[in-house]
A and B are shown apart, each in its own frame.
Chain A
């Protein structure tokens, strides 16, 4: 019943099977989307943004244990992204690293994430989570109104039914993350 576990290294056969599976999933999604509503939930779009953040942010080398280490997207709290995130980043790579998704409760393992999505269910312990991430090279992404003021880096908000995000550039610097100018151009930049 444990839904998601970090995948271990695979044999070549498993890799091929996986590629086929992903292709099939893409076609499947294409077919399925025929049946589904055309409008998207905010969480589907948030999941797609997370994938883009992985592509347009640069992590320092020390954020990865070795050259083959995967890129970890962590999700903490109630999981409105469930399914969507896996489907969107499943089998994708960011800067040559395989992306994996982990569902987390808290504690030390949060620090091992490259991107950490903190769902609004965790608002009550936001400062606690932020404290435990001090000095980590983690791109924190949240939904709470005061997220950037709590030390969070990227904060989603909605404007005219479209998804927008704020970036706290000071927090990003503290985490030694380089955010591409392309992303910054789209964001509302805030400072401490």
Chain B
């Protein structure tokens, strides 16, 4: 499974975009005339384009054709069929036709994924429960770089973005992927994979705006350096409007962000591929946060503007010894900083990663790897939030090995492996898994998986203090309720049992069913502790501590079923349903009052139906309907969300589209209450228009 992704990820050949090729089919005569005109212009301006290209296939005689290397769609399908994990792949075509403008919004289409807008600039996204502002059991990577924040155990989605047109695919695995990907890949792994620069040659400019999308624009240009290297660079800006609070009043969560980046890929030889890429960004977001004051003791809310900025640079070397053996060496540096009146925090990450893929004989396909990660963080504390110590360097050492063993050729596959890691909080962690895939018939497969995965502690489990509220007690004594980190916090632990079934009835209909029974131990709880006096800060006050601990266990089980049906070559339907049941049990020694109720933070039922229609003249009509069940603990009623997109591809160069989102109601809440220092707000109905213009390089 993870191996599937790894191999996909390092696939040297890349995938030709079949969807795009399909768009080029002949339409009506009218279309031919229009394209004649456009293409005649191309002839006049592009006579320079004289090189022969692989697409001039008719020029090749049969002997030459025999030597063309092909990437087989059927092989890919087979690999997907036999993957023993609940995997879903979002393609570039899915991205384009979704009308989504951010990465978390794309994830709504993944079966069983729960995605909620907390406010205009903050999302909660998780699969299989435990959703929240920092869904701490979902590991997210962009081009091999982890964007899981090791201070807060979660992803700051508001800072994760790129030019969506340059994403090749997003692979989402529900369920543990810790054996390959490491700690915190407990409930799922999200891999965002951008295209090779060789596939993003030429320019793309997009611009548009609307009611929520106040204005946006992006530009990318890709070119070649010599014969074997290609580059691209991009920049993207958007300005998004505010949501509204529960009574319909404007909230303060409008935001804007600017980013830019580059990627260079150099085929240094037949056997070597070098990649260097990087991004830099800044964003300005508003939120309403709870705040406590000591003198006089009081609680209130404050509207703050948060600035987040950062950057990263990554280098990777892939070397192919042979078809059966290849290595990759990757190194990256990532910096992230959040700055607002309540807290300033920053994180520097340095990561070194080595992988070796090796086919041993005909039956064994082995991947093993070593990695080292150094993180260091820094804080400027306030009365509301403080970390002690304010700087804590951490070292993470990992090793993993996994063998995919073909027991019966193209019938039975066993994958066994384990991750071993040593972290600065809990020491050694072992995360093994055993996966079995059985293909009884050519188009059907059954798989089962058993794994252990852990969510390792982060600074906000061990070293944090949040003064949650303050009030005046008897005799005028100030009292502060304080959430305190626990230096002895243990890893949260999962034993996962999964069984799935896949059917590729034909190239028009596929069905994917995944079921799971997850057993969790040592889940995080908040326990009331013994009050104590404090003299600092003044005035002297009584502190009532809430101690972070591991005093809960639970079972989470459910099923996700997805069906994709290409009704005609021009009409595609995707649907999915997911069921999720969560049961938490406090230890007898626990006095927690709220944790059991977090069972109700994820929807029990979710259903979606998406339709993509292509008409003559390259007109496209895409509609998505999402039903999301209620979140009882957060008092969020169930809702149905409808997004629709109308697009027109005018030749190869120009796309126009109009997108409507949340069309069914004026506003609705997708998440509730005050969560992780943020008051949630409600999503509004919105419309925006977009123009995409492409041009080729060097003409």
Q: A29-B56, A182-B62 are in contact. Are A42 and B15 (CB under 8 A)?
A: no
Say whether B71 faces chain A, with CB atoms less than 8 Å apart: yes
Name the residue on B nearest A53 (C-beta).
B62
Contacts of A164 in B (CB 8 A): 66
Q: How far is the CB of B664 from chain A (nearest CB, A)?
A: 29
A49, B65: Cβ atoms under 8 Å?
A: yes
Say whether B408 faces chain A, with CB atoms less than 8 Å apart: no
Q: How far is the CB of B695 from chain A (nearest CB, A)?
A: 10
Name the residue on B nearest A44 (C-beta).
B57
Contacts of B35 in A (CB 8 A): 21, 24-25, 28
Partner of A161, one of B14, B40, B69, B200: B69
Q: A39-B13, A79-B569, A87-B24 are in contact. Are A34 and B697 (CB under 8 A)?
A: yes
B58, A43: Cβ atoms under 8 Å?
A: no
Contacts of A29 in B (CB 8 A): 53, 55-56
A1, B20: Cβ atoms under 8 Å?
A: no
Say whether A189 faces chain B, with CB atoms less than 8 Å apart: no
Q: A24-B43, A28-B652, A164-B66 are in contact. Are A84 and B21 (CB under 8 A)?
A: yes
Contacts of B23 in A (CB 8 A): 83
Q: How many residues of B contact A (CB 8 A)?
A: 64
Contacts of A71 in B (CB 8 A): none
Say whether A11 faces chain B, with CB atoms less than 8 Å apart: no
Partner of A33, one of B32, B53, B66, B75: B53
* B26, B36, B49 pick with most chain A CB within 10 angstroms: B26
- C-alpha gap A20/B44 in the complex (Å): 12
Say whether B270 faces chain A, with CB atoms less than 8 Å apart: no
Q: How many residues of A contact B (CB 8 A)?
A: 60
Say whether B39 faces chain A, with CB atoms less than 8 Å apart: yes
Within 8 A of A (CB), among B333-348: none
A-contact bits for B1-26, CB 8 A (1 contact / 0 none):
00000000000011111101111111
B-contact bits for A43-61, CB 8 A (1 contact / 0 none):
1110111011000100000
Name the residue on B nearest A14 (C-beta).
B29
Contacts of A38 in B (CB 8 A): 14, 54, 198
**Given contact pairs A17-B36, A78-B506, a sample of 5 additional A-B residue pairs in the complex whose CB atoms are under 8 Å apart:** A4-B26, A21-B36, A24-B43, A80-B507, A162-B67
Within 8 A of A (CB), among B644-692: 652
B54, A40: Cβ atoms under 8 Å?
A: yes
Contacts of A40 in B (CB 8 A): 16, 54-55, 57, 68-71
- C-alpha gap A84/B18 in the complex (Å): 9
A27, B198: Cβ atoms under 8 Å?
A: no
- C-alpha gap A158/B42 in the complex (Å): 37
Binds B, one of A88-96, A131-139, A169-177: A88-96
Q: A30-B56, A45-B70, A161-B70 are in contact. Are A25 and B62 (CB under 8 A)?
A: no
Q: How far is the CB of A88 from chain B (nearest CB, A)?
A: 5
A-B contact pairs, 7 of them (CB 8 A): A20-B36, A27-B49, A35-B202, A36-B20, A43-B73, A51-B58, A121-B507
A36, B24: Cβ atoms under 8 Å?
A: no
CB-based A-B contact count at 8 angstroms: 192
- C-alpha gap A20/B568 in the complex (Å): 31
* B55, B69, B615 pick with most chain A CB within 10 angstroms: B55
Partner of A23, one of B18, B43, B54: B43
Q: How far is the CB of A183 from chain B (nearest CB, A)?
A: 6
Contacts of A121 in B (CB 8 A): 506-508
Say whether A69 faces chain B, with CB atoms less than 8 Å apart: no
- C-alpha gap A56/B61 in the complex (Å): 10
Within 8 A of A (CB), among B476-510: 506-508
B-contact bits for A70-82, CB 8 A (1 contact / 0 none):
0000000011101
- C-alpha gap A56/B60 in the complex (Å): 13
Say whether B407 faces chain A, with CB atoms less than 8 Å apart: no
**Interfacial residues, chain B to chain A (CB-CB below 8 A):** 13-18, 20-26, 32, 35-36, 39-40, 42-43, 46, 49, 51, 53-58, 60-63, 65-75, 196, 198-202, 323, 506-508, 568-570, 615-616, 652, 694, 696-697, 699
Partner of B46, one of A21, A27, A186: A27
- C-alpha gap A118/B65 in the complex (Å): 20
- C-alpha gap A45/B26 in the complex (Å): 19
B21, A48: Cβ atoms under 8 Å?
A: no
The 10 closest A-B pairs by CB, nearest first: A24-B39, A48-B57, A78-B507, A33-B55, A83-B25, A33-B53, A42-B70, A39-B13, A121-B506, A37-B16
B652, A1: Cβ atoms under 8 Å?
A: no
Q: How far is the CB of B439 from chain A (nearest CB, A)?
A: 15
Say whether A120 faces chain B, with CB atoms less than 8 Å apart: yes
B62, A1: Cβ atoms under 8 Å?
A: no
Contacts of B13 in A (CB 8 A): 37, 39
Contacts of A89 in B (CB 8 A): 58
Contacts of A82 in B (CB 8 A): 22, 25, 569
Name the residue on A nearest B653 (C-beta).
A31
Say whether A41 faces chain B, with CB atoms less than 8 Å apart: yes
Contacts of B694 in A (CB 8 A): 35
A41, B73: Cβ atoms under 8 Å?
A: yes
Contacts of B196 in A (CB 8 A): 37
Contacts of A84 in B (CB 8 A): 21
Name the residue on B nearest A43 (C-beta).
B73
Name the residue on B nearest A145 (C-beta).
B442
Q: How far is the CB of B76 from chain A (nearest CB, A)?
A: 10
Contacts of A47 in B (CB 8 A): 57
Say whether A26 faces chain B, with CB atoms less than 8 Å apart: yes
